[in-house]
Structures are given as structure tokens and as C-alpha cells.
Structure 1
């Protein structure tokens, strides 16, 4: 096969050479689940002082609580030791800076084809979206009230996390 992944496979070989996580049981040892954006400026474990095995992390554009995120949270709460959930969007998020039409046009131009059919989960009001997402989790019938749910905002320029809800 080609060379396009060789650098990553070499890095993985170095990582695996002294890998000590093979006996990990897969639960969230700190009892934490995080829903956040896919933005590469976010390092979910390190920003909270957590380590390998401490948390379940679900990432998507905009850090929204989608049906797939809810599925992950329900599984985390009932099967993987999760008792605290953090929803963490961030400053300067691309999903807050563009309209649906703008994203479709930009993607279409990059793809060289019409992208008008593609849905993007654009965030028009980040605080309203965070309130909606936190409420969605808190009111879900399969997530008990004993599970603590918080809404936060991560500042990509300072690394600071601020509790909003």
C-alpha cells in the first residue's frame, strides 16, 4: 500500500513499543463523560487533568448532543461508570461562524460538486444550543437525576474552561 499513512503507522509503532494499557477494562475510571467538538485545538483529557481510562469522550462538529451522543451517554451511565457529564463547546468554533448555505457552498466548491443536500449542524446561538443540549441530557428518561450534568465553554486561546450551566 501507499505511503500516505506511513508516518502515522511509525508513530503508532513507537507508541505500542511501551504501551501499558492492554489490561484496561474500558470503564470511565474518573466517572466522566465529555461531549465536545472535533476541533483539534481541544485536548479533552489534558484540559481536565485526566488520563487514559478516566473518561468517555464523544466528539462531533460543534460539540452538540446529537442522538449518537445521547446513545453514548446512556451506555456510559449504565455500563461504563459515568456519573458526571460535561458538554463543552468552544470559542471560535467554525460551526458558529457559518450558515448552512455558506458551508454547503464551501464544501461544494472544495468537492467540485453540488453539496446542497448535505446537512451541517450549524450553531446560530451557542449559549441557546448549550442550554438545549444540557436540558436534553438532564431530562432523558434513561439518565438518572443522580448523574451530574454541566455545560461549559472552552476558550481555545487561553485553555480555560468556564462553567456556564
Structure 2
């Protein structure tokens, strides 16, 4: 079990490396990733991302919900505020939706009212979210993101297989 003393020890080792010194608030790249909170599927590890490579947001199922869209909009305002006066402000980007096999969100189908609240939809509409199929759900979520973002913004959808450790491109960028 990891306790507070162990966390303090690990933090001291991290701080000694000074990788955080002068790290910018904004990611050095323009990659944005939406993934699940499942500890087996940390997007930074699964995708081989280094610190500051991307903005990574995680929620239950890695799903696009109204709250997710509101959070992305708020982050866009942070970028806008921090970029004012820069000669070359960050532009464009690529958003990746990362779902995975054996996701715990499937267990929540026993609680339709809870899931409906999460998606902010009537319980009768839950079938439109393809909770049980990560390949279908990633397509649905990529489409929702594409509708919310400016036309032409690159979005792709991946599914991580918890048995093999590999990702599959389900929705290529630009398709």
C-alpha cells in the first residue's frame, strides 16, 4: 500500500530531478487526449507521452460528456489568456479520444439513472452511447467532439486493449 510517507519520498526524488523547473503551463505540443480513469490505462504511459507533451483529461470511461466539453472550452480560454502577446501563439492541435476494452463503465449499466445523469440525457437514450462496445463508443465520442469543435480540427479515436497493451486506430485523423 502506498501511504503518505511513501508519496513524500517519491516526491522528493521527483523534485531532486528538477524536471519541473521552468516548465510552461501550456503543453509544448498541441496534443490533447481524453482517456479513462482506469489505473490500467494511464494515457501518458499507454501512448508513451513525456511530461508536457500533451494535455491529458481523464474521466469515467474516457467519455465525451457535456462536462467534458465545458472543461475543454475552459482550457481553450486558459491557452488564449496565456498566449496573448506571444509572437507565435499555439494554434491547431490534435485531439485523441482513447477508450479501452474491459472498461468499468460497463458495470454502470446496472445504474441507468446514474449513467443518464453523467451523460446529461434521459435514461431511455443510453443506448445511443454504446456503453458496452468501446469501438462503437469511441466513434460516437469522436463524432460528438467533431460537432463541438471548429470544422477541420483533427480528432481521432483509439481503443486500447488491456490484454495485449496495444492500441487500435478506430477513427483515423481526418476521416
Could you tell me the TM-score, scaled by structure 1's length?
Answer: 0.75
Whether the 8 Å contact between 2:134 and 2:159 is mirrored in structure 1 is no
- Establish whether residue 55 from structure 1 lines up as the match of residue 61 from structure 2: no
- Establish whether residue 158 from structure 1 lines up as the match of residue 164 from structure 2: yes
In 2 relative to 1, CA 25–152 (structure 1 residues): closer, same or farther, beyond 3 Å? same
After TM superposition, the structure 1 stretch with the greater mean CA deviation from structure 2, 122-131 or 80-89, is: 122-131
How many angstroms does 1:138 deviate by?
A: 0.4
How many angstroms does 1:87 deviate by?
A: 0.5
- 1:17 and 1:47 map into 2 onto residues whose CA distance is 26
Q: What is the aligned partner in structure 2 of residue 149 from structure 1?
A: 155
How many angstroms does 1:22 deviate by?
A: 2.5
Whether the 8 Å contact between 1:33 and 1:73 is mirrored in structure 2 is no
Q: What is the aligned partner in structure 1 of residue 9 from structure 2?
A: 10
Alignment size in residue pairs? 146
- 1:49 and 1:35 map into 2 onto residues whose CA distance is 15
SS at match of 2:64: coil
Whether the 8 Å contact between 1:100 and 1:119 is mirrored in structure 2 is no
1:92-126 Cα offsets, whole Å, 9 max, x none, are 1111245233xx9xxxxxxxxxxxxx824582443
Greater share of helix: 2
Matches within 5 A, 1:78-93: 79=79, 81=90, 83-93=93-103
Whether the 8 Å contact between 1:77 and 1:83 is mirrored in structure 2 is no
- Establish whether residue 96 from structure 1 lines up as the match of residue 106 from structure 2: yes
Match of 2:141 among 133, 137, 151: 133
How many angstroms does 1:4 deviate by?
A: 4.5
Matches within 5 A, 1:26-41: 26-41=25-40
Whether the 8 Å contact between 2:135 and 2:159 is mirrored in structure 1 is no
